[in-house]
Amino acid sequence: MKLFVGVLCALFIAALAEHALEPDFRAWMLQHEKVYAADSEYQYRFQVYLSSVEKVAELNNNNDGVTYALNKFADWTEEEFATLRGYKKMATEPAPVAENAPLVSAPSAYDWCSQGKCTPVKDQGQCGSCWAFATTENIESVWMIGGHSSVQLSPQQIVDCDTGEAGCNGGDPRQAYGYVHSAGGLDTSSYYPYNAVQGSCKFSSAHIGAKISGSKNTYGGSEDQMAANLASTAPFSILVDASSWQFYSGGILPASSCGQNLDHAVVAVGYSMGQYWRVRNSWGSSWGESGFIRLQFGKNTCGLQSEVMSSTL
């Protein structure tokens, strides 16, 4: 009898806790413009949100210098979040040998975005097209650094037209660079807008915004050399294990907080030598540090050394 009463009390307390958090959930829905088609969907997403509340509290109790928040992914399950991480190894040829800049030329810190050589942060939506965004964003920066006007290019073209990849089901920046070169360039996003689904190819050579001659490996064998290459060339696409990034809000993510199972493509735009890499994501500006994350420098954090690439003009 005492056990039965204890169970009832526990259930009652849990129900009260859920009820107390429902106004927070509704405020969160309003903030992130969430609308559910049916009450059953509302109830399901509320339960996912409650689970996220517990996860974020536990993460923030780790005291690792990183902050976590109930962001727009707080009603996503881990399985749904995995659909965003769309890197799949497609390229079969060996990566090109890195062309290394002298280490002595590397400043202690550098950031291409602070130099005005990055386009605004983008949002890939619920589509595993990170690989297309990483490719596009690198090309946009390389194009500007090469002396051209800023232009926003079309990741949708790559998703639709690169038949060697899997669209919203994943791809590989290294192979995507090859597609862009063979296609003769990328259309502008104004002509070929992004819609987060794979469709028929609508590429038009009349609307090309930028062209490339190929791609190159920009790693160089160490993160110090990688930094020298970045400062002397451009932001570059990298591959990471982003499975621990769902609720990231700010701070330097330590290597101990993520694995090496590469599943996501992003763009390294800057660094502070010995401290962090500043990395641009494609989950919108409301995620992380205005769309960016900082990864611990010198520890191959999240596997960032694995495929370090840049386009060439």
Q: How far apart are CA 229 and CA 84, in angstroms?
A: 29
Catalytic residue list contains 261: no
Residues 118, 130, 161, 168: which is the catalytic one?
A: 130
* Widest CA span in the chain: 79
Sequence-ordered strand ranges (E) for 149-254:
186-187, 208-210, 214-217, 236-240, 248-250, 252-253
**CA gyration radius for the chain?**
21
CB 311 within 8 A of CB 212: yes
Residues 71, 229, 281, 302: which is the catalytic one?
A: 281
Beta pairing, strands 292-296 & 252-253: parallel
> Across the strands, what pairs with 312?
214
Catalytic residue list contains 63: no
Residues 138, 217, 229, 264: which is the catalytic one?
A: 264
CB 228 within 8 A of CB 308: no
Q: Which two tokens stand for residue 297?
A: 């420098």
DSSP class of residue 236 equals E
Catalytic residue list contains 264: yes
Q: How far apart are CA 293 and CA 304, in angstroms?
A: 13
Which residues are catalytic, by number?
Answer: 130, 264, 281
